[in-house]
Structure 1
Amino acid sequence: MSGKLTRRHALMAASLSPTLAAPPSLAQSSATQAWPAQPIRLIVPFAPGGTTDLIARLVATPLQERLGQPIIIENRPGAGATVGSLLAAQAAPDGYTLVLSNIASHGISPTLYPNMRYDAVRDFSHIALLTLNPSVFVANPRAGISNMADFARIHRASPRGLDMASSGAGSSNHLLIVRMGQILGREINHIPFRGAGPAMTAVIGGQVPLMSDSLPSAASHIRQGSVRAVAMSSAERHPSFPDVPTLREQGYDLVTSSWFGLSGPARMPQPVVERLSREVRAILATAEVRARFAEIGGTPGEFSPEEYAAFVTAEVASWAVLVRESGAQPD
C-alpha cells in the first residue's frame, strides 16, 4: 500500500474522526490561545477564615476581573494542607485548576509526612509568590498572658503545661510551637485545628488560651481586642503593629516567616503560566493591594515562575533540617 495520504483519504479521515484531523499540538495551541474560556477553580488547602483563604480571596477578585472568567475558591483542608494540594497535583494541567501553595503544603509537609503522594517541586507548575508574613502569638485576654515572661511562667507552673492552637499539623505555626517548647525546656501541648479560623474561634471563646497564627489572619482580631498579641516572629517590630514586641526582643532567638503562592499541576502550558504570572505581579504592584497587604501584615512577592520554583525547592531543603531537628510528628 502506498504511504502517501491522498486528499480523498484526508477528507475521509476528517469526516469519520474530526478530533483526529487536527494534530494534537495545533489543538493544544488553539486551546491555549483561547484560555481562559471557562471558570477557574482555585483550591485553598485550609479551612475558610485563615490566612491562606484570606490571601486567596484578596488576589482572586482582581485576577478574575483581569482574566474575564470567574475564579471559584474551593476549600479542601486536611493533613498539613496536603489533601487539597494533592487534588491540584492530580488535576488536568490545562490552567483551569490552581492551588494556593504555601509553607505547609510545599515547604514543611514533604518532610513531615514521609508517605506524601506528591513531590512539592516536580508535580507542580509554580507561578508566583504572593506574600511573605511573620507569625504572631496571641492569647485570650482573660488568660493572663501579656508577654513571653507571663507565657513562660504560667507554662512552667501549670501541672500539664499550656495548650496552644494552630491551623493544623504540619503548619509553620505548629513547628514554631514545637521549637518554643524546646527552648522553654517543656513541651507545649499542640492543639491542631482544621484551619486558622476554627483555631482563632476557640481562643476567642476561651477553649484554648493561646494560638500561634500567621499575622494576616490574626490582624483584625488583634485590632478589635478579641485577642492579645504576645509576640511577633519577625526580626524587627512590624510597622503595622509597632506595639507588639518580637520574640527576639523578649529573649527568644526565633525568627520565621510563612509564605503563600500560586501554583498549578505540572506541565501546564507555558503561555498560560506566563499570563498568570504577569497578571498576578501586576495585581501585587497596585497601590490598593499593597495597602491591603500592609494592613494585614503581609509583604507582596515579586518572583517570576522560575524564581518561585527555585524558592520552593530551597524551602523544602531548609525546612527538612528544621523538621528533623524539632522531632515534630503529624498530629
Structure 2
Amino acid sequence: MAADLSPLLSRRILLAGTAVLAAPAIARAQGWPNGSVRLVVPFAPGGSTDLTARLVADGLSQRIGVPVVVENRPGAGATTGSQVVADAAPDGQTLVMSNIASHAISPALYRTIRYDPVRSFTHVAMVITNPSTWVVNPRSEIANLADLVRLAKASSGGLDMASSGAGSSNHLLMVRFCEMAGIPMTHVPFRGAGPAMTAVIAGQVPMMSDSLPSAAAHIRQGSVRAIAMSSAQRHPAFPDVPTFIEQGFDLSSTSWFAISGPAGMDPAVVQKLHREIMAVIATPSSQQRFAEMGGTPGAMTPAEFSAFVAAEVARWAPVVRASGATVG
C-alpha cells in the first residue's frame, strides 16, 4: 500500500514514526499511560472497525508498554460504544474507534443521541480510509448491478440486503443506490459486519454492502463474490471488481476509521498519542496489512481530523434527511 500513497502523505507518516522514538519514556514520565488503555469498538467483532482497532491496539501496546484492550460495545448504529467514551474521564485511558457511522451518519439518524460528534470528543488520529464493496453469495445469480436491478424490479417486495447496522455508510449507500435505480430493497441490519457476512456466506441473506477491509479476505477466499466497488476508480487490490460508476451509477464513497477520546484531553497527551499511532501505521507490517485489507493509511493532524469530522457531519446530514430514515 505504501506505493499507492502520495509522496507528501508517505513523508508525513514516516516523519511521524521517526519523531516518536523517545516518546514512550516521555509519556510515562508525565503520567500517561497510567495503566492499561481501553479502546472501545462500537461494533461487533469481525468487521472493518474491529479489524482495524486490533491492528492499532497491538502495535500501540508494544510502543507504550501497557496493554491496549479492545472492548466491543455494539449497538444503535455505533452510538452505544461511542457514548461510553464520550462519558469517560478525559485522561487518555479510554478511547474509541471512531468511524463514519458513529461520528458522521448516526448523529443525524438517531433522534435520542446524547453526544455531539465534534464537541463531545477529542479527535486524535485518522487511521485508515477505504471504499465499500457489495458482495453476494457465490451461488447467487447476481453477477453485476444490472442483474441486481433486474431481479429487484421483478420482485414484489424487493431483494434483501444486509449491512453492519442501520445508519452505517453501507446502509446509506444502499439507500442512495435504490433511489437512483428506482428499485425496492429490504435492509437487513446486523450488529456488526461480521455477523452480516456470516449470514451472506450461509445463504440466509443473498447479499451485503460491506466495507472493503472486512470483506477482502472473504472475496479472496471465494466465500462471497464482489459485484461493485464504491471507489472512484477500480481498487488496485481488486482490479477485476468494477465500480458503481463503471456500471452506470454515479456513486462513490469511502468509509474511515480513526481514534478519538473524550472531550477535554490534555493536548500534550493528544500529541503523544497521535505520534504513537502514526508510528504504528507507518511500520512495514501495518502497511502490508492495510494493503491486504484494501485500505489507505490516514495522515491528518488532530486539528485536521477534527475539521474533517465536522465536514463529514455536514456532508451526511442532508443524505440522511433525504432518505427519510430516523431511529429512536
When normalised by structure 2's length, the TM-score is 0.90
Could you tell me whether the CA contact under 8 Å between 1:44 and 1:76 is conserved in 2? yes
How far has the Cα of 1:32 moved from its partner? 7.6
Could you tell me whether the CA contact under 8 Å between 1:132 and 1:301 is conserved in 2? yes
Name 2:78's counterpart in structure 1.
Answer: 81
Name 1:314's counterpart in structure 2.
Answer: 311
Unaligned runs of 5+ in 1: 1-29
Name 2:64's counterpart in structure 1.
Answer: 67
Aligned partner (choices 260, 275, 278) of residue 278 of structure 1: 275
Would you say 1:40 and 2:42 are equivalent positions? no
Taking the aligned partners of 2:162 and 2:326, their CA distance within structure 1 comes to: 15
The residue matched to 1:207 in structure 2 has which SS?
A: coil
Name 1:223's counterpart in structure 2.
Answer: 220
How far has the Cα of 1:164 moved from its partner? 0.2
Moved more, 133-142 or 277-286: 277-286
Aligned partner (choices 231, 234, 239) of residue 234 of structure 1: 231
Name 1:101's counterpart in structure 2.
Answer: 98
The AA in structure 2 aligned to 1:35 is: W
The Cα offsets for residues 49-81 of structure 1, whole Å up to 9 and x where unpaired, read as: 000000000111011000000011100000010
The Cα offsets for residues 84-103 of structure 1, whole Å up to 9 and x where unpaired, read as: 00000000111110000000
Taking the aligned partners of 2:143 and 2:46, their CA distance within structure 1 comes to: 25
The residue matched to 1:190 in structure 2 has which SS?
A: strand
Would you say 1:148 and 2:133 are equivalent positions? no
The Cα offsets for residues 164-219 of structure 1, whole Å up to 9 and x where unpaired, read as: 00000110001011111111212210000000000000000001001000000000
The AA in structure 1 aligned to 2:98 is: S
The residue matched to 2:30 in structure 1 has which SS?
A: helix
Structure 1 runs (4+) deviating above 3 angstroms are none
Taking the aligned partners of 2:304 and 2:279, their CA distance within structure 1 comes to: 16
Distance 1:267 1:32, change over 3 A: farther
Taking the aligned partners of 2:39 and 2:318, their CA distance within structure 1 comes to: 31
Taking the aligned partners of 2:60 and 2:165, their CA distance within structure 1 comes to: 28
Between the two proteins, the alignment pairs up a number of residues equal to 302
How far has the Cα of 1:294 moved from its partner? 1.1
Taking the aligned partners of 1:330 and 1:62, their CA distance within structure 2 comes to: 36
Taking the aligned partners of 2:28 and 2:308, their CA distance within structure 1 comes to: 30
Taking the aligned partners of 2:74 and 2:314, their CA distance within structure 1 comes to: 24
Taking the aligned partners of 1:231 and 1:189, their CA distance within structure 2 comes to: 19
How far has the Cα of 1:37 moved from its partner? 2.6
Taking the aligned partners of 2:124 and 2:29, their CA distance within structure 1 comes to: 16
Moved more, 195-204 or 317-326: 317-326
Distance 1:197 1:251, change over 3 A: same
Name 2:187's counterpart in structure 1.
Answer: 190
Name 2:162's counterpart in structure 1.
Answer: 165
Taking the aligned partners of 1:221 and 1:288, their CA distance within structure 2 comes to: 21
Could you tell me whether the CA contact under 8 Å between 2:95 and 2:260 is conserved in 1? yes
Could you tell me whether the CA contact under 8 Å between 2:38 and 2:71 is conserved in 1? yes
How far has the Cα of 1:281 moved from its partner? 0.9
Name 1:323's counterpart in structure 2.
Answer: 320
How far has the Cα of 1:329 moved from its partner? 3.1
The residue matched to 2:139 in structure 1 has which SS?
A: helix
How far has the Cα of 1:327 moved from its partner? 2.0
The AA in structure 2 aligned to 1:123 is: S
Quick one: percent identity of the two aligned structures? 64
Aligned partner (choices 266, 270, 274) of residue 269 of structure 1: 266
Could you tell me whether the CA contact under 8 Å between 1:175 and 1:328 is conserved in 2? no
The AA in structure 2 aligned to 1:207 is: Q
Could you tell me whether the CA contact under 8 Å between 1:79 and 1:169 is conserved in 2? yes
Aligned partner (choices 106, 120, 124) of residue 127 of structure 1: 124
The AA in structure 1 aligned to 2:306 is: A
Could you tell me whether the CA contact under 8 Å between 1:164 and 1:188 is conserved in 2? yes
Name 2:3's counterpart in structure 1.
Answer: none
Taking the aligned partners of 1:95 and 1:31, their CA distance within structure 2 comes to: 12
The AA in structure 1 aligned to 2:145 is: M
Aligned partner (choices 53, 57, 79) of residue 54 of structure 2: 57
Taking CA–CA contacts closer than 8 Å with sequence separation of 6 or more, which of the two structures ends up with the larger relative contact order? Answer: 2
> Between Structure 1 and Structure 2, whose CA radius of gyration is higher?
1
Unaligned runs of 5+ in 2: 1-26
Name 2:112's counterpart in structure 1.
Answer: 115
How far has the Cα of 1:31 moved from its partner? 8.7
Name 2:295's counterpart in structure 1.
Answer: 298
Could you tell me whether the CA contact under 8 Å between 1:234 and 1:257 is conserved in 2? yes
